[in-house]
Amino acid sequence: MLLYRIDEIPKKMEQTNRILLVEDDPNLSVVIQDYLEMLGYDTVLCTNGEEGLNEYNKGGFNLIILDVMMPKMDGFTVAEEIRKTDEYTPIIFLTAKSLKEDRVKGFKLGCDDYISKPFNTEELSLRIKAILKRCNMQVMQTETPTGPVFQIGKFTFDSENMVLSYGAEKQPLTRKESGLLKLLCINKNKILTREKATKSLWGENDYFVGRSMDVFIAKLRKYLKADPDISIINIHGTGFKLEVNE
Question: Strand, coil or helix: what is 76?
Answer: helix
pLDDT at 230: 95
Q: How far is CA 164 from CA 85, 116, 153, in A?
A: 18, 37, 12
pLDDT at 9: 44
Query: What does the pLDDT profile of the chain (246 residues) look like in tens digits?
Result: 454 444 444 444 445 788 999 999 989 999 999 999 999 999 999 999 999 999 998 888 889 999 998 988 999 999 999 888 777 788 999 887 666 777 777 888 878 888 888 888 888 898 898 888 777 655 444 444 455 789 999 999 998 888 999 989 999 998 888 889 999 998 888 888 888 888 788 777 777 778 888 889 999 999 999 999 999 999 888 899 999 987
pLDDT at 78: 94
| CA–CA–CA angle 67, 32, 10 (5° rounding) | 135
Report phi then psi at 14, rounded to 5.
-65, -40
Q: Nearest-CA neighbor of 174 among 182, 60, 132? A: 182
3-state SS string for 79-94: HHHHHCCCCCCCEEEE
176 neighbors 216 (Cβ within 8 angstroms): yes
Q: Nearest-CA neighbor of 17 among 58, 55, 62? A: 62
91 neighbors 111 (Cβ within 8 angstroms): yes
Task: List the domains of the chain with CATH numbers.
Answer: 6-141 (3.40.50.2300), 149-244 (1.10.10.10)
Q: Which amino acid is at 139?
A: V
Under DSSP, the state recorded for 242 is E
pLDDT at 95: 83
29 neighbors 45 (Cβ within 8 angstroms): yes
pLDDT at 10: 46
C-alpha 246/C-alpha 231 separation (Å) is: 12
pLDDT at 137: 58
C-alpha 28/C-alpha 47 separation (Å) is: 11
pLDDT at 84: 81
**Element housing 246 (H / E):** none
Strand order in the sheet with 18-22: 42-46, 18-22, 63-67, 91-95, 113-116
pLDDT at 144: 43
C-alpha 32/C-alpha 80 separation (Å) is: 24
